[in-house]
């Protein structure tokens, strides 16, 4: 039975070469800002410019996206599992839409639907556009958030928990946010970190809505300093890595209980 | 006791009604959100594709796409990139997933590779493009290394990172890991006992994959390939940052259209978007149809 | 000459020995069970016979031919798994015919053989169903037919009944046994259920920590367990600690009650040893025959099980369970009353001390206060 591991090693090594090549390339390039020697100059410049503002902006949007997603998705999954089973196919169809409709098409629709002369001029002011971007990101994160929370809630006995809590006199919001939510915390967190990573790397929507997110800043940075852009790319990669590591860590206990097929 | 029972039967319908109402209130934000940010935006585009500037119904917008060789070409290039990266990503991703799930590798390998895949599948867009330029671009690390030490010139071989194949190579960077993430649970679903039972009945490894492994995986394979296809088809940032706004794929065309850089014909933009929805919609429909046909043996 | 022979089979996973020098000779047509708790190595031995695990040392022979180095596909050994393991993408008929198809049977012969097998497992009308449309018991019968269709030399059953309901488990095990007799196929059956092993086997191998503790017929295993482990694992035995009084006269003392046994006592006077008493060997009431041992204790708990009444009687640090048949005319003693417990000398079994402590969970009636 040992023979199969040779092929597996070859596959992994080839994959490692392919996946490490651009990363090593970017890392090496980012160190070449000062001609002739390797230095961390690009990183110094990055941290002394508006990087922090744009990164902060993206992070705040990401956290708000997570909060809004949780507020929308948790009650939906809860009620669909508990009382509105018949809505499940519709809800699942809707949550898959963002995977089918390209982001650029969605944002095009937003621009037309919520332009400054429409009934709800969400592109009319900076604040309103930020809110529009926030909801756009909620839409992007929806498939992942919904799946994470849905499979998390399947592993806890929602009905029994609800009945137990109600028999002790808990109100419905208490049940959802104080009983159910803590029980699916790891699922919510793993969805949250994925959302964070998606928002941090997003470019298309923010670019068309003219919001100064990290991804847009990166393209601008490239125009005046490719070294800074390479450094930023690497930083983005490390942050994504941190998010995924945290997601794996929090998602782990859920994997032990396999959902039935 | 009878009174209590009677009270309970009376109370029950009333209670169920109110709890259903409550449930409906609870899912309202979701449906309002879905209507406002998924359904209405899509409908307005689809509707707009069939009217002219003054609101009269017409098929002219769609006709205009077919009249415009650049747009037709953009669709074709998009389809080609998406098909190649979806099928290629699916095959290579399956191979990598198979290696880490069934390949008898050290235990730490699997979580390490899946974490990396989580990172890489989300590392699309601008940073990814820069990383590729920095490594296999004209002045990239690997390009220089190959020409300095091995005397191989990528340019002389006809390869350029800002070409079609450069974009394909970059897309594979997020498509392969995405495939690994989707297909690994399906590979876990292949029970060890199936292989062992087949083996005791005289099956070789090839027999096993032909008669059991691949047929069982088929729905997941097709489903993930469709997802990979939609993922490539809707991507813009990677190609945009890598090859620039002149790279002729449909997402970049739509982007230019929205920005008003080129034609400034709103309704043509709607038609372009409609075409994209039709393509991803058809690919998903195809998947559902294939699954219905192929999955006679599942519930 | 034995049909299947395992000679000093050993297996370690890394530094951990899982199977310690295992020897077994099985006759043609014999039905042998491997009985033991999980982790005792019984499944590992089975998988070594099938060829899924390579033995670290030792040889496996079938019909005088060594098969240790053959790949599993060439061993002609049929196997049935705990989780059915039917191929989900094939119908019942395709599952049963899979091995025949690989062996290159012509279509008509294959069809005939599949029909014959489905007839045999009494599911002739289900050939076109998919596995998900069958109950667990039906799936397991199909798995059995699939394994037998290619006429294997040996049939291996890896806990084939554990996933089924209690009722189906009993009927299917009888069916397996009758099919096995009918076909005369040499069979190894792995189980952790002592009742299953006792009811179905020609011989039982009781395994514990990677070694065979005892090999014997169900009658021998049940009535004369050799070690404390076998005694505790097979049946609901009362295990007690006794002090040797006089090895020559076979006199022992249990909580101050002097008793006599017919077993040989290896230990010297004053030494401790383990003894066992079957619940059904004990009786309530004073001894009428003079050679019966008698102990006085307090009735602590009475469980009415239907045909049998189980009474727990405490003697100081020890408690024993007594099974008596229900008799409408003699109600069981009340809780807390003093009762006399008697048993024959030959029913007091002195056990070999193996130096290994059996799993505490398995020693059902070990004194809690020890």
Asked if residues C251 and C259 have their Cβ atoms less than 8 Å apart, the reply is yes
d(Cα C359, Cα C232) in Å, to the nearest integer?
A: 9
In a domain, B49, yes or no: no
Inform me whether the pLDDT recorded for B105 exceeds 70. yes
Q: Residue A126 corresponds to which tokens in the numbers above? A: 């900076």
Backbone conformation region of residue C55, classed left if phi is above 0, alpha if psi is from -120 to 50, else beta: beta
Please report which confidence band the pLDDT of residue B138 belongs to, taking 50, 70 and 90 as the band edges: confident
Q: What pLDDT sits at residue C203?
A: 94
Of B23, B236, B284, the CB nearest to A100: B284
Q: Does B34 have pLDDT greater than 90?
A: yes
What's the token pair of residue B162?
């800002």
The answer to whether the beta carbons of residues C11 and C48 sit under 8 Å apart is yes
Mean pLDDT throughout B131-144?
A: 84
CA distance A172 to chain B (A): 9
The closest of C120, C184, C127 to C152, measured between CA atoms, is C184
pLDDT at residue C362 in the model: 36
What is the pLDDT, as a whole number, of residue C359? 40
C331 dihedral zone (left: phi>0; alpha: psi -120 to 50; beta): beta
> B108 and chain A: CB distance < 8 Å anywhere?
no
Q: For residue A110, what are the contacts with CB-CB under 8 A and spacing of at least 6?
A: A122, A123, A132, A136, A209, B37, B41
The CATH number for B188's domain is: 1.10.3720.10
Residue C269, CA distances (Å) to A4, B294, C318 in order: 61, 76, 21
Q: Is residue B26 situated within a structural domain?
A: no
Task: Nearest by CB to A111, from B22, B120, B258: name it.
Answer: B258
Cβ distance of C130 and B212 shorter than 8 Å? no
DSSP A125: S
Per-residue pLDDT 10s for chain A (261 aa) are: 444 578 888 888 999 989 988 888 888 888 887 877 888 878 888 777 767 778 888 889 999 999 999 999 998 998 998 888 888 889 988 998 898 889 999 999 998 888 877 777 777 788 889 999 999 999 999 998 998 888 888 888 888 888 888 888 888 888 888 888 888 888 888 788 888 888 888 888 888 888 888 878 877 777 777 788 888 888 888 887 887 777 777 766 544 433 333
Q: DSSP per residue over A190-226, as a string?
A: HHHHHHHHHHHH--HHHHHTT---HHHHHHHHHHH-H
The per-residue pLDDT for C355 is: 45
How far apart are the C-alpha atoms of C40 and C193, rounded to whole Å? 13
B190, B194, B200: best to mutate for the C interface, most C CBs within 10 A: B200
- Give which of C27, C193, C49 is closest to C19, Cα–Cα: C49
Query: A233: which strand partners?
Result: none
Q: Please give the residue of chain B at the shortest CA–CA distance from A26.
A: B131
High-pLDDT (> 70) share of chain A, %: 93
Nearest Cα residue to C9 out of C290, C205, C200: C205
Q: Which of C278, C285, C368 is nearest to C322 (CA)?
A: C278
The domain over range A43-252 is classified in CATH as 1.10.3720.10: yes
- DSSP assigned state of B50: T
Q: For residue range C306-351, what is the model confidence (pLDDT) as tens digits?
A: 888 889 999 888 888 898 888 888 788 888 889 889 988 888 888 8
Residues 51-110 of C with CB under 8 A from B: 51-52, 71-75, 77-79, 81, 83, 85, 87-90, 98-99, 102-103
pLDDT tens digits along B234-291:
888 888 888 887 888 999 988 888 887 555 677 888 899 999 999 998 988 888 787 7
Distance from CA of A187 to the nearest CA of B (A): 16
Question: Cα C52 from chain centroid?
Answer: 23
Whether B158 and chain A come into contact, CB under 8 Å, resolves to no
Q: Which residue in B46, B172, B237 has the most chain A C-beta atoms within 10 A of its own C-beta, making it the best mutation to test that interface? A: B237
Residue B59 within any structural domain of the chain? no
Average pLDDT on B49-70 reads: 85
Running along chain C, 370 residues long, what does each successive block of 10 average in pLDDT? 87 86 91 90 91 89 89 90 89 93 91 93 90 91 93 92 87 91 93 90 91 90 84 81 84 85 80 85 77 87 86 87 85 87 87 51 34
In 3D, which of A195, A56, A187 has the Cα closest to residue A136? A195
CB of A232 within 8 Å of a chain B CB? The answer is: yes
Which pLDDT score is estimated for A7? 82
Residue B133 within any structural domain of the chain: yes
C-beta separation of B41 from A132 below 8 A: no
Span B55-59, average pLDDT: 84
3-state secondary structure chain C: CCCEEEEEEEEEECCEEEEEEEEEEECCCCEEEEECCCCCCHHHHHHHHHCCCCCCEEEEEECCEECCCCCHHHCCEEEECCCCCCCCCCCHHHHHHHHHHHCCCCHHHHHHHHHHHHHHCCCHHHCCCCHHHCCHHHHHHHHHHHHHHCCCCEEEEECCCCCCCHHHHHHHHHHHHHHHHHHCCEEEEEECCHHHHHHHCCEEEEEECCEEEEEECHHHHHHCCCEHHHHHHCCCCEEEEEEEEECCCCEEEECCEEEECCCCCCCCCCCEEEEEECHHHCEECCCCCCCCEEEEEEEEEEEECCCEEEEEEEECCEEEEEEEECCCCCCCCCCCCEEEEEECHHHCEECECCCCCCCCCCCCCCCCCC
The number of distinct structural domains making up chain B is: 1
The pTM for the full model equals: 0.78
Is residue C145 a contact partner of residue C107, using CB atoms and an 8 Å limit?
Answer: no
pLDDT digits (tens, 9 = 90+) for C36-82: 988 888 999 999 999 998 888 889 999 988 888 888 888 899 999 98
pLDDT grade for B160, boundaries at 50, 70 and 90: confident
Side by side, which strands form the sheet with C154-158? C77-80, C154-158, C186-191, C31-35, C203-208, C211-216
CA distance B100 to chain C (A): 20
Q: Is residue B4 part of a domain?
A: no
Q: Residue B162 falls within a domain, yes or no?
A: yes
Instruction: Say if B198 falls within a structural domain.
Output: yes
Residue B25 lies in a domain: no
Q: Which of A226-230, B80-84, B213-217 has the lowest mean pLDDT?
A: A226-230
């Amino acid at each position: 039975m040992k023979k199969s591991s040779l092929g597996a090693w070859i596959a992994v090594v080839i994959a490692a070469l392919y996946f490490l090549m651009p990363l090593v390339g970017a890392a090496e390039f980012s160190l070449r800002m000062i001609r002739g020697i390797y230095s961390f100059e690009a990183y110094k410049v990055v941290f002394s410019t508006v990087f922090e503002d744009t990164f902060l902006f993206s992070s705040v949007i990401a956290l708000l996206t997570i909060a809004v997603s949780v507020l929308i998705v948790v009650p939906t999954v809860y009620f669909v599992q508990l009382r509105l089973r018949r809505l499940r196919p519709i809800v699942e169809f809707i949550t898959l839409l963002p995977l089918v409709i390209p982001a650029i098409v969605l944002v095009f629709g937003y621009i037309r639907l919520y332009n400054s002369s429409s009934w709800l001029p969400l592109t009319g002011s900076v604040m309103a556009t930020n809110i529009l971007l926030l909801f756009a990101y909620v839409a992007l994160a929806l498939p992942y958030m919904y799946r994470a929370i849905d499979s998390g809630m399947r592993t806890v006995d929602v009905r029994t928990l609800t009945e137990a809590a109600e028999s002790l006199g808990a109100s419905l919001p208490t049940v959802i946010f104080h009983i159910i939510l803590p029980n699916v915390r790891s699922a919510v967190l793993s969805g949250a970190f994925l959302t964070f990573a998606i928002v941090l790397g997003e470019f298309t929507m923010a670019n068309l809505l003219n919001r100064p997110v990290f991804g847009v800043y990166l393209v601008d940075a490239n125009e005046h300093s490719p070294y800074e852009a390479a450094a930023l790319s690497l930083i983005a990669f490390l942050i994504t890595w941190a998010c995924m590591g945290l997601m794996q860590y929090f998602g782990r206990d859920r994997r032990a209980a396999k959902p039935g097929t | 006791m009878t009174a209590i029972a009677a009270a309970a039967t009376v109370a029950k319908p009333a209670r169920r009604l109110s709890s259903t109402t409550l449930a409906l209130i609870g899912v309202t934000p979701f449906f309002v959100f879905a209507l406002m940010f998924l359904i209405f935006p899509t409908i307005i585009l689809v509707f707009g594709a069939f009217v002219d500037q003054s609101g009269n119904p017409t098929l002219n917008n769609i006709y205009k796409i077919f009249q415009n060789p650049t747009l037709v070409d953009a669709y074709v290039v998009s389809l080609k990139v998406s098909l190649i990266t979806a099928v290629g990503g699916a095959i290579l991703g399956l191979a990598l997933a198979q290696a880490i799930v069934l390949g008898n590798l050290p235990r730490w390998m699997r979580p390490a590779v899946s974490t990396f895949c989580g990172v890489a599948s989300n590392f699309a867009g601008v940073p990814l493009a820069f990383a590729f330029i920095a490594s296999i671009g004209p002045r990239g690390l690997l390009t220089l290394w190959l020409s300095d030490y091995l005397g191989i010139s990528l340019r002389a071989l006809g390869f350029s990172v800002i070409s079609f194949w450069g974009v394909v190579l970059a897309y594979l960077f997020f498509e392969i890991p995405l495939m690994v993430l989707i297909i690994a649970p399906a590979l876990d679903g292949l029970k060890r006992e199936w292989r062992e039972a087949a083996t005791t009945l005289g099956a070789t490894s090839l027999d096993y994959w032909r008669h059991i492994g691949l047929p069982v995986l088929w729905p997941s394979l097709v489903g993930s390939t469709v997802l990979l296809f939609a993922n490539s088809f809707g991507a813009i940032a990677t190609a945009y940052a890598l090859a620039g706004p002149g790279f002729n794929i449909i997402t970049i065309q739509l982007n230019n259209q929205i920005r008003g850089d080129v034609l400034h014909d709103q309704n043509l933009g709607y038609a372009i978007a409609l075409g994209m929805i039709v393509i991803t919609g058809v690919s998903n429909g195809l998947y559902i149809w294939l699954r219905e046909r192929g999955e006679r043996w599942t519930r | 000459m034995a049909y299947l022979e395992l000679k000093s089979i050993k297996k370690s996973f890394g530094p951990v020995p899982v199977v310690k020098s295992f020897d077994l000779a099985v006759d043609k047509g014999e039905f042998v069970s491997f009985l033991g708790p999980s982790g005792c190595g019984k499944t590992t031995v089975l998988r070594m016979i099938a060829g899924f695990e390579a033995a670290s040392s030792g040889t496996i022979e079938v019909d005088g031919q060594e098969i240790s180095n053959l790949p599993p596909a060439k061993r002609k050994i049929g196997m049935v798994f705990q989780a059915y393991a039917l191929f989900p993408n094939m119908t019942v008929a395709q599952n049963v015919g899979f091995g025949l198809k690989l062996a290159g049977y012509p279509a008509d012969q294959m069809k005939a053989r599949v029909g014959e097998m489905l007839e045999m497992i009494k599911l002739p009308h289900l050939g076109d169903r998919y596995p998900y449309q069958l109950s667990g018991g039906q799936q397991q019968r199909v798995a059995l037919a699939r394994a037998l269709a290619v006429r294997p030399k040996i049939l291996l059953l890896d806990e084939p009944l554990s996933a089924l309901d209690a009722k189906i488990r009993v009927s299917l095990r009888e069916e397996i046994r009758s099919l096995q007799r009918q076909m005369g196929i040499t069979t190894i059956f792995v189980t952790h259920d002592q009742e299953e092993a006792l009811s179905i086997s020609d011989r039982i191998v009781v395994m514990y920590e990677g070694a065979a503790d005892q090999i014997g017929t169900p009658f021998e295993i049940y009535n004369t367990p050799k070690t404390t482990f076998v005694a505790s694992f097979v049946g609901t035995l009362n295990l007690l600690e006794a002090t040797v009084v006089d090895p020559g006269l076979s006199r022992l003392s249990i909580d101050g009650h002097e008793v006599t046994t017919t077993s040989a006592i290896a230990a010297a006077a004053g030494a401790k040893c383990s003894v066992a008493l079957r619940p059904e060997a004990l009786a309530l009431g004073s001894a009428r025959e003079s050679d019966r041992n008698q102990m006085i204790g307090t009735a602590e708990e009475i469980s009415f099980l239907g045909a049998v009444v189980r009474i727990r009687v405490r003697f100081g640090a020890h408690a024993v369970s007594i099974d008596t048949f229900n008799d409408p005319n003699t109600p069981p003693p009340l809780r807390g009353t003093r009762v006399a417990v008697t048993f024959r000398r030959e029913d007091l079994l002195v056990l070999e001390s193996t130096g290994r402590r059996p799993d505490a969970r398995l020693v059902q009636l070990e004194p809690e206060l020890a």
